[in-house]
Structure 1
């Protein structure tokens, strides 16, 4: 056994324990009894203490000092282990455990406060979480040129800074706002109408997930307040939510989470229970969920197939034909909720959150002032007022569980998806004919070959560059949006 072999054997148990911790999180958001929240927080803290100790263990430092990678894959394994070791040695164990406990408990507080529109009940724990993440970010930034926010961002998108993201967002904003303005001058298409039973929606979600390659032998679908995907390898679970008058939210939430899940399921099995056995970044992860949901799932070709299947399941959908259904699935209109936002306005939601969370972490915005700041910015950006907290700053789970630095990866994912979609179209010229039959296999095979199978082997932007032949930029996404919605709205 070499030092590299010893390290990889040790790392296997660390990766397994990390997945056990993720399973506790899945349980908490799906089937855990509400009265177990405090105990679950203690359990999560205990797991984080064990994981933190393993990642920062002296023997890991010794192995990293002398380990020789056998090949390129081994070099990538060492890169990721060293990244985790450096992080763990900077963040005190007590802080890591406290964060795990507080964010576990905070998730339940957020869900309850959100359901009751009770801002006062949520603000104290949010204030605690922000302070803890500021402390963690400061620890991670020590000895680097990173800001506190950039240090937190690196957990989700290594190698990217807030300034780089801001530059991309600035380039996107002008064209997105102009496109939205032109669209809103046109008549809005009809929405679906009817009453759609929640249990039937859940059963239909299984059909849709299967159409996008979800392996139910290695996964399951449950309900959650906020849809998410959890796990990797041979146990990858997803959740969705249902709305009685809007089945499309359930359908496309399911497709979105299936994109995340099939990414994890498609990683090279040789990487299982190693640092490479997971998606390389949240931006790349979002590229998979967004291309499944939008470029594939909301395409005219696939939506025609979906219209037939939904009609057979639910009966009259309140729209005349497949063209009207396609227009409804891509309707641009006023709305509060990010996860239900159309493709044109989705990134404007992210830009709002990005600016506010940077101000929170920098200390320029106090948690007590967040609701007012959100409402003012939303009115300025979207042209109408927030009516209640669950449609405003309390709509997303992310801040309650400390995911500061996560939001901008959604738009990075859209940018990556735009680049991947352009390359996919060139490689699979008969894509629309296949999608019209509900057949996503060629698209999924291309994405698996060029993105998913590699797991964490390549750094995020390198992966997209290798897949598409060019460095990622916002241009392909904006070109796609203008062409699609220009045709839909006769611009």
Structure 2
């Protein structure tokens, strides 16, 4: 057995164990009994110790030094294994285990505090999580920027400065478009419920299938905050329901379907290896966002979805498919990021990016976070936060230690803008097909150009290869301008 063969065999076992840890997390957020939380935290901490030991095993370093890659696939495997090894070597095992334990407990405490709108009940736990994240960031940064070290874990090679520059390039266009929309004098309909939960779940499963999600290798469950989990042959997604509102369920599902289809679409030869999962969270979000927005909120899909919703829920108080299309794209300064329209969404991300960057750098303390959030939200959206569940408690990311994750949503929107412009050029039949509920031409193009490669190419190179052009924010801005100028007669 060559050094490369030994390295890959060892890595496959490590990835298999990581999938088990992911399944424990999925179980915790979907069906685990509430009283099991303390034991689950210990289980996850113990498994994280095992994983950390494997990722930092001295034999990995020896195999990496001796491995001789024979092709581009082997070179990519080695690149990603070396990256994981270098990061693992910088983080002490006790710290990695404690992060797993505390964030497991934190998720349940956050969910209860969110339901009760009780910030004070969660702040001590969040302070623990932030302290651990700062310690991890310091270890990984090795004297560099601590926030960049965490961001790099979600978007390799990206920096906070580059994200800030991207946001600076987007903000003026987004704010100008929002002002013109809100000043247009036009308003869109709001669907009238109630919406039966069982009917929502049946329809949301139909939507997931329409976008290509394979339920023989996946499942759809409910969670407080929708998410996707797993890779390869076991890829699970979650959604949520509300009796008063249908779009939250439908578009949470379509969003997570994008994540799930990415994982299901990766070349099976890469199963349980570093190449067998998405290359970065920005690329992952490009798939979930293009499924959700450019495809799922298109006029073509609106006609099909309107018909299915009328069958399930009656007329919903809207006069036809055009009004339904307007309702699904209604622009307003709402509180909730996951329910935000496409014009406001990235402003939600910019708020979170600035706050978490300040938290990790020590320029903002947890005790001051709610006030900082509320002040920034009022400045950016012109509306005062009415309760914590609509403000600082709404997202699960900080409770589970995902600092540096939020910017990848906007980066994903930028990637999605690039991909959609190329898709329109290459696949003119996507729109008439989608009008019949068939997303296949569009999702097939995405599977061919992006999804099948998994981690083979680095993110900017993958998008450039898929589209034939360098990554730019301009396609996203052009898409938003074209769509909403038409909707609001700008």
Give TM-score, length-normalised by structure 1.
0.99
Q: Deviations over 1:279-301 (max 9, x none)?
A: 00000000000000000000000
User: What residue is the counterpart of 1:106 in the other structure?
Assistant: 106
Which whole-Å CA distance do the structure 1 matches of 2:103 and 2:15 have between them? 21
Single out whichever of 190-199 and 275-284 deviates more from structure 2: 190-199
SS state of the match for residue 191, structure 2?
coil
SS state of the match for residue 276, structure 1?
helix
SS state of the match for residue 236, structure 1?
strand
User: What residue is the counterpart of 1:12 in the other structure?
Assistant: 12
User: What residue is the counterpart of 2:426 in the other structure?
Assistant: 427
User: What residue is the counterpart of 1:440 in the other structure?
Assistant: 439
Which whole-Å CA distance do the structure 2 matches of 1:76 and 1:194 have between them? 51
User: What residue is the counterpart of 1:119 in the other structure?
Assistant: 119
Which whole-Å CA distance do the structure 2 matches of 1:104 and 1:200 have between them? 32
SS state of the match for residue 309, structure 1?
helix
How far apart are residue 430 of structure 1 and its match? 2.1
User: What residue is the counterpart of 1:483 in the other structure?
Assistant: 482
How far apart are residue 203 of structure 1 and its match? 1.5
Which whole-Å CA distance do the structure 1 matches of 2:92 and 2:465 have between them? 37
User: What residue is the counterpart of 1:48 in the other structure?
Assistant: 48
The runs of at least 4 aligned residues of structure 1 exceeding 4 Å deviation read none
Which whole-Å CA distance do the structure 1 matches of 2:464 and 2:47 have between them? 37
1:157 paired with 2:117, answer no
How far apart are residue 314 of structure 1 and its match? 1.4
Which whole-Å CA distance do the structure 2 matches of 1:334 and 1:343 have between them? 11
Residue from 148, 155, 179 that aligns with 2:146: 148
Kept in 2, the 8 Å contact 1:194–1:316? The answer is no
User: What residue is the counterpart of 1:135 in the other structure?
Assistant: 135
Runs of 5+ consecutive residues of structure 1 not aligned to the other structure: none
Kept in 2, the 8 Å contact 1:49–1:93? The answer is yes
How far apart are residue 177 of structure 1 and its match? 0.3
Which whole-Å CA distance do the structure 1 matches of 2:327 and 2:383 have between them? 22
SS state of the match for residue 255, structure 2?
helix
SS state of the match for residue 176, structure 1?
helix
Q: Deviations over 1:124-152 (max 9, x none)?
A: 01001111111101100116xx3000000
SS state of the match for residue 213, structure 1?
coil
Which whole-Å CA distance do the structure 1 matches of 2:444 and 2:66 have between them? 39
Alignment of 1:235-246 (within 5 A): 235-246=234-245
User: What residue is the counterpart of 2:296 in the other structure?
Assistant: 297
Which whole-Å CA distance do the structure 2 matches of 1:280 and 1:343 have between them? 24
How far apart are residue 204 of structure 1 and its match? 1.2
Which whole-Å CA distance do the structure 1 matches of 2:21 and 2:70 have between them? 30
Which whole-Å CA distance do the structure 1 matches of 2:333 and 2:188 have between them? 13
User: What residue is the counterpart of 1:316 in the other structure?
Assistant: 315
Residue from 151, 165, 168 that aligns with 2:166: 168
What number of residue pairs does the alignment pair up?
A: 489
Runs of 5+ consecutive residues of structure 2 not aligned to the other structure: none
Kept in 2, the 8 Å contact 1:218–1:236? The answer is yes
Kept in 1, the 8 Å contact 2:460–2:470? The answer is yes
